[in-house]
Amino acid sequence: MSIVYLNGNYLAEEDASISVLDRGFIFGDGVYEVIPCYGGHLFRLEQHLQRLQNSLDGIRLENPLTDSQWQETIKEVVKRNNDDNADQSIYLQVTRGAAKRDHVFPDKVSQTVFIMSSVMQPVSDAKLKKGVVAITHDDIRWRYCHIKSIALLPNTLMRQVAREAGADEAILNRDGKITEGAASNIFIVKDKKIITPPKNECLLPGITRDLILEIAADSGLAHSEEEISLAQLQDADEIWLTSSTKEILPVTQLDDVAVGNGKPGPCWQDMLARYQEHKKLLRSGDAH
């Protein structure tokens, strides 16, 4: 049975409920985080809490908990869902709470805080061996994509378009520049150089993205943060998608055309091995 946290209480998932007037439900007025937990160790918690703070600042909503309260509460959710020692994916969201429906913020806000855990489903070996299929799609989202908003309708629409085209992800193109995936960040490799778009308001500053750049720097691998055009994407030797839940996925087909030789590339293999090494350290408590 899954135990969730809702506004100060730990409850069975089916017993947790919120008001129909919650602004998260009515307006999508809230922000969220997804934090992996490997062997009981939270992945980059400090960075996730910092991004949460940035998202809350971005929507002008006060953080209802201190960092140590977040840490304590998330750890309790992990503990209460730790039946079989499986890796977990922690989802948390904060909304502007329940209020009479009005676009303008309520005078008195009582945030809704919700945390749940699911068993982390690792990407199958078969998928990693073959790579995934992606399509390109016009980036139809708003201009504050650095905020991890719960209002994900454009993202879900684009993911669905990808699914119906037999693809795993939609890679987004805003005015000729590639921003990210519908639920992932993007990297390309050209002539052994690892490239990802710089952080700005057009993309989410992914925690996985940052770790990959850190690993590249520590390992002396050629890398840079620079704009990627659609033409560069189409001409890449390798394309990777990154996220907390999918880690690093190699894209081997883009819009019906093979990427590189159509197989996961050597730079991806090397980076994935380094990433797994980092996770091993995290499991033993020697990394964060």
Q: CB of 286: closest distance to ligand PDD in angstroms?
A: 21
Which residues are within 8 A (CB) of 286 and not within 5 positions of it... i.e. 6 or more apart?
none
Determine if 183 is a binding residue for ligand PDD (CB under 6 A). yes
Joined tokens for residue 58: 């971005």
Of the candidate spans 55-63, 108-116, 118-126, 238-246, the one that interacts with ligand PDD by CB under 6 A turns out to be 238-246
**How far is residue 141's CA from residue 39's CA, in Å, rounded to a whole number?**
35
Determine if 168 is a binding residue for ligand PDD (CB under 6 A). no
Distance of CA 146 to the CA centre of its chain: 11
CB atoms within 10 A of CB 203: 23
Determine if 196 is a binding residue for ligand PDD (CB under 6 A). no
> Which one of 22, 29, 180, 238 is in contact with ligand PDD (CB under 6 A)?
180
Nearer to ligand PDD, 34 or 78 (CB): 34
Per-residue binder mask for ligand PDD (CB under 6 A), 244-273, x = binder:
xx----------------------------
Determine if 95 is a binding residue for ligand PDD (CB under 6 A). no
Nearer to ligand PDD, 55 or 242 (CB): 242
Determine if 243 is a binding residue for ligand PDD (CB under 6 A). yes
Determine if 207 is a binding residue for ligand PDD (CB under 6 A). yes
For residue 73, which amino acid is it? T
Q: CB of 209: closest distance to ligand PDD in angstroms?
A: 6
For residue 26, which amino acid is it? I
Determine if 204 is a binding residue for ligand PDD (CB under 6 A). yes
Q: CB of 33: closest distance to ligand PDD in angstroms?
A: 8
> Which one of 184, 196, 252, 253 is in contact with ligand PDD (CB under 6 A)?
184
Provide the annotated active-site residues. 148
CB 241, CB 127: distance < 8 Å: no
Determine if 24 is a binding residue for ligand PDD (CB under 6 A). no
Determine if 34 is a binding residue for ligand PDD (CB under 6 A). yes
DSSP 224-259: EE---BHHHHHT-SEEEEEETTTEEEEEEEETTEES
For residue 71, which amino acid is it? Q
Beta-bridge partner residues of 44: none
Pairing, β 223-225 against β 193-196: parallel
Beta-bridge partner residues of 135: 170
**How far is residue 95's CA from residue 31's CA, in Å, rounded to a whole number?**
7
Nearer to ligand PDD, 23 or 141 (CB): 141
CB 258, CB 130: distance < 8 Å: no
The contact set with ligand PDD (CB under 6 A) reads: 34, 180, 183-185, 204, 206-209, 242-245
